[in-house]
A and B are shown apart, each in its own frame.
Chain A
């Protein structure tokens, strides 16, 4: 118990004094996961609109599949990216394994189903009468699509934050394809999982507190958007 108290007090000290290592790791985590979330959104929001606004065979199956993949294990995505990016793999020549880019690719794959699924339900949540109203006022197909995205903007933002939250809190991918390399790919979660086993409890506690704090901010934003 004494050890835990000591660790916590030291952790708070590290945060307050803006310890360079803590700041560096937290900053990297934020950068990598924000990049993943933004890039995934750039792909997923238009794709979700295409899925939502078109009727095709197997649409329900596809949406079900997307929703199932919400729960895809991070280590499974890590394994997939590892196999593709490893020296012997199909994309091995790019030399991306154990780089921030590899983590970003993995996190994008991880959160794509969440972003797609939640954006589709955000769009489905828009009153159907709005579409009829827009059509009757002379909107073209594309104009309707933009209008509905705009109407659903808060729910779409909520989807983005959910994706970001999932990306920043995962550890399996960062560890498997990032490798926890100091000053390069070490992020909050990998640092916690590996440094604590090496006995650096204070650093782990500090990073855990920061992660929870980030989760809190994300949650506050999420609540704000959902209330709109």
Chain B
């Protein structure tokens, strides 16, 4: 039995569907990430799971209990979880009191409150600040207070909304390390919302891609990353080259896709006649200035439209009849002289192409 399960969960607000038909199952001790861009409905979903708002329709089961039963029941259930809001705020009191307040609300004995609070302050590294007013803390420290006061009550479920989105890179990395430590230490079932795919990859056992209020794909990160179910998921997980085409022939899973300006060979089980998209990651394409024989089945001549360097990588836009974005290291871009107008050959393997049906679905 899953610890948290939602059935056809919907949330409407002002005649608009914020969430539609959310069906999730999260198991005990699992770290589950909801990934999606801003406005996808992640916060709305977390608020529903924490029972701060009630859904327009659909059910939420926590440990097998229907959370819609009664308000007093919801308070009891809510006290078994904790939610770290996206922009954490602290109460105008000391760091210690901020962290201890949830225990006091649960009528825990005073000596136990002190012991647990001190222990968690130690874990988040705020022991020396415990008598300071929490209003005087920096953003990263406030985030750690928020995490401490959520975890101190030993919740069965931890809900995290963009745990590092408002922090500088150093604080963000520190917060991530702290959370991983806490997951490991307390074995808390965690549901975290993030717009950062790589954060989902680093921290979660399973991810769900939430776009426009719908969960489009759920699975372990490598599967979602390498086999996005449709165009929207593909572009969200960083597939920059999505080329429309139609399968013209196939043999032993090796198919030829007619893009209208060249044939792409790929591995797929779709039959001829199927309208598909060929998804190719920019980092899976190699670029050469002369036609060389490679083991790659796909090789296209094209002209460089533009090339932009950021950090150690250069993004090259090649026009091969269809546009291709290619990522190369800055050094090789310099050595090859990959400048605008240059004639080049872009190659990629048939296994580097992920084929999806054009109109959603599997």
A138 touches B92 (CB 8 A): no
Residues on B with beta carbons closer than 8 Å to the beta carbon of A151: 91-92
Nearest chain A CB to B116's CB is how many angstroms away? 14
Complex CA gap A139/B106 in Å reads 8
Contact of B89 among A133, A139, A143 (CB under 8 A): A133
B50 touches A136 (CB 8 A): yes
B89 touches A137 (CB 8 A): no
Query: Closest B-chain residue to A127, C-beta based?
Result: B89
Query: Closest A-chain residue to B75, C-beta based?
Result: A140
Residues on B with beta carbons closer than 8 Å to the beta carbon of A129: 85, 87, 89
Residues on B with beta carbons closer than 8 Å to the beta carbon of A137: 82, 101-102, 105, 149-150, 153
A-B contact count (CB 8 A): 52
Interface assignment of B345: CB less than 8 Å from any CB of chain A: no
Interface assignment of A221: CB less than 8 Å from any CB of chain B: no
Nearest chain B CB to A126's CB is how many angstroms away? 9
Residues on B with beta carbons closer than 8 Å to the beta carbon of A133: 85, 88-89, 91, 146
Q: Answer whether A138 and B91 are a contact pair too, CB < 8 Å, given A129-B85, A132-B85.
A: no
A136 touches B82 (CB 8 A): yes
A138 touches B50 (CB 8 A): no
Nearest chain B CB to A80's CB is how many angstroms away? 40
B52 touches A138 (CB 8 A): no
Interface assignment of A147: CB less than 8 Å from any CB of chain B: yes
Q: Chain A binding site: helix, strand, loop or mixed by DSSP?
A: helix
Interface assignment of A135: CB less than 8 Å from any CB of chain B: yes
Residues on A with beta carbons closer than 8 Å to the beta carbon of B79: 138
Nearest chain B CB to A199's CB is how many angstroms away? 54
Interface assignment of B83: CB less than 8 Å from any CB of chain A: yes
Q: Answer whether A140 and B105 are a contact pair too, CB < 8 Å, given A133-B85, A135-B52, A135-B78.
A: yes
Query: Closest A-chain residue to B77, C-beta based?
Result: A138
Q: Which chain B residues in 146-200 approach chain A with CB under 8 Å?
A: 146, 149-150, 153, 159
Q: Answer whether A136 and B85 are a contact pair too, CB < 8 Å, given A147-B91, A151-B92.
A: yes
- List the interface of chain B (C-beta within 8 A of A): 50, 52, 75, 78-79, 82-83, 85, 87-89, 91-93, 101-102, 105-106, 146, 149-150, 153, 159
Which 5 A-B residue pairs are closest in the complex by CB-CB distance?
Answer: A136-B83, A138-B79, A137-B102, A129-B89, A139-B105
Told that A136-B78, A138-B82, A139-B105 touch, could you supply 6 new A-B pairs with CB distance under 8 A? A129-B87, A133-B146, A135-B52, A136-B50, A137-B105, A147-B101
- List the interface of chain A (C-beta within 8 A of B): 127, 129-130, 132-140, 143, 147, 150-151
26 contacts between A and B (CB under 8 A): A127-B89, A129-B85, A130-B89, A132-B85, A133-B85, A133-B146, A134-B101, A135-B52, A136-B50, A136-B52, A136-B78, A136-B82, A136-B83, A136-B85, A137-B82, A137-B102, A137-B150, A138-B79, A138-B105, A138-B153, A139-B105, A140-B75, A140-B105, A150-B92, A150-B93, A151-B91
